[in-house]
């Protein structure tokens, strides 16, 4: 497979992941962190890092809006729930180091 095709496939997979996460507003970031070691915020940080590596100036709010499909504050207000004590405890045990 040539590099252009690989990049196109990776971009399509990324867009599908972002679309899936936008639809699954019931899945909380803490659950993603506890199970997979990353969440929507991590994904938006990785996106911003990729932009920075290419000389594109992007702030955290912009990259989060790309991933969340709306301003982060709006998403939190509409969809984020208070983490349970069990979720918080699991996060402390499984907290990634990135």
CATH number corresponding to 3-94: 1.10.3340.10
pLDDT at site 95: 79
Query: Interior CA angle at 73 toward 67 and 75, to 5°?
Result: 55
| Per-residue pLDDT band at 97 (split at 50, 70, 90) | confident
Q: What are the structural domain ranges in the chain?
A: 3-94
Q: What percent of the chain has pLDDT over 70?
A: 99
Q: Token pair for residue 13?
A: 């997979």
pLDDT at site 52: 98
Its pTM stands at: 0.89
pLDDT at site 62: 98
pLDDT at site 28: 97
| Per-residue pLDDT band at 67 (split at 50, 70, 90) | very high
Which residue, among 90, 97, 73, 79, has the nearest Cα to 32 in the 3D structure? Answer: 90
Say if CB 44 and CB 63 are below 8 A apart.
yes
Say if CB 80 and CB 68 are below 8 A apart.
no
């Amino acid at each position: 497979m040539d590099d252009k095709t690989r990049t196109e496939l990776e971009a399509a997979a990324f867009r599908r992941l972002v679309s899936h996460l936008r639809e699954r507003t019931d899945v909380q970031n803490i659950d993603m962190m506890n199970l997979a070691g990353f969440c929507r915020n991590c994904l938006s940080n990785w996106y911003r890092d990729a932009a920075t590596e290419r000389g594109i100036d992007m702030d955290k709010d912009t990259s989060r809006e790309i991933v969340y499909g709306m301003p982060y504050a709006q998403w939190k207000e509409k969809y984020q729930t208070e983490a349970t004590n069990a979720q918080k405890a699991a996060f402390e045990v499984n907290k990634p180091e990135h």
